[in-house]
Structure 1
Amino acid sequence: MTAAEAAADRRPPARVLTVAGSDSGGGAGIQADLKTMLALGAHGMSVVTAVTAQNSLGVHGAWELPVEAIRAQFQAVVDDIGVQAVKTGMLSSAAVTAAVAELLTGSAAVRNVPVVVDPVAVSKHGDPLLDPGALEVVRSRLLPAATVVTPNLDEVTQLTGIVVTGEADLRTAARAVLAYGPRWALIKGGHLPDTAEAVDLLSDGEHEHWYRAPRHGNRHTHGTGCTLASALASYLALGHDMPAAVGLAKDYVTGAVAAGFALGAGIGPVDHGWRQR
């Protein structure tokens, strides 16, 4: 068999589609998602929802793509290549959020694949990435389409009004998020104050799975949420069940945070290639 014939017979890796915004600094968004997917052995594909001018100091501008362009990117991928998991990130507006929710629920090609929703609303630097008017569309249309939602504590408050101040509040947060219709909620407790561990809770309303990892003092954590969500989508596409996929994704992101590096004059990114290095 020739090399060309062998390549033609080779099965493709797991295929994961990210629907998110572009981070020109390369630490978060589409760029972080694709780096994560590659590091974990998946083939990453993308639907760009917005373009940001962004660096280690913050977001200096953002431009939303037309809904028609978002739909065209999505259909081009799922109709020809197919997907085994979808991850959503920055959706920026009510119109884009509604269009993405419609694509996720109306496309036969993704109806039975896991959907990981990272309800991105604010950047690491505190810059808004979601219009206030889009929150209700997230609650009413996007979350019901999700297999799992991965909010941090600030996003929990924005979605539900619940302020998490301690580990016990993670249960309350999970119940409130699940009330909007996703199958699972992964409440990320990384922002809990005065804890030696980063504690996360995965719940489907009946079963709880707790995940703990040492808290690292590294300040270079840009892209943590994007990285966790895209790692979770990758492991689901690779065939792991939800609790196992969350554990593997948390292990990966914990190593990426520990290896985060300075870049520019502000907050640097996590290291998506830490295992290879």
Structure 2
Amino acid sequence: MKKTTTLLLLLCVSMATAFAQIVDSKVVENGSSGPYKAIAATEASLPNYVVYRPKDVKAAAKAEGKLPIIVFGNGGCSNTSITHEKVLSEIASRGYVIVAIGPLARTLAPKPTSTESSMLLDAVTWITAQSKDKKSEYYQRVATDKIAAMGQSCGGAQTLYVSSDPRIKTSILFNAGIGNMTMAGASKASLQQLHGPIAYIVGGPSDIAYANAELDYDRIDTVPVALATLTAKGHMGTFDEAFGGSFSQMALAWLDWQLKGKNSRSTVFLDKDLGKFPGWSVKAKRF
């Protein structure tokens, strides 16, 4: 009897290990304001990233269809997304799965370490594998044909660098522009390697990236591009505001249009329908 009980216990432990992916998690702003309460999670097979996602992925996918995917690079190319978590949790709560570089953190480390741009593509590879694994919670619940790359400041340069990858369908650069610099592998040559629509979401002239974002916008001549500017804000935009402030909402307008096919959201960029975006200006071309 004792031997049988031990075998049953080992079997239960084995099953739990196979199916329990999340090994740590936290809730940002009570799960954010969207219809699918979000969590920030560490996955057992991806310890050096945070997955911002609806807590109940199954329910979200049932309501939305397969959930679009975002990979995210942090300001300073650092290994923590804690300074961006309000925006990321808010977007996740609207039916997205975001894989952000850096392990889960509850406080900001005094000296975050630097990361490589290739980590964004590693994140794409991981979530793609999860979508095909019958044991995974993401199995047939994420849309591997609807992947965005997104990043802030130096993470925006990482985003630009990987945006030539054919798996990336669209990109968002927050408070970022390459101009005449070389950063995280990206340079002005990267602008000619874009194959999908790209959006720049920046602060006004007090944003150190503002001039470079304007220059990138002028130089891009092969793909659709939009530049959205919140004039009164600087280099961190509204990342520290409740639910990520209007940076979250501007990003969602773009993502809903580009990845969820909600063409009504295009009016923000194409028709400058900014009634819900006071203080913003937008321009777009090649659409």
| TM-score normalised by L of structure 1 | 0.44
Q: Which has the larger radius of gyration?
A: 2
User: RCO greater where, 1 or 2, for CA within 8 Å and sep 6 or more?
Assistant: 1
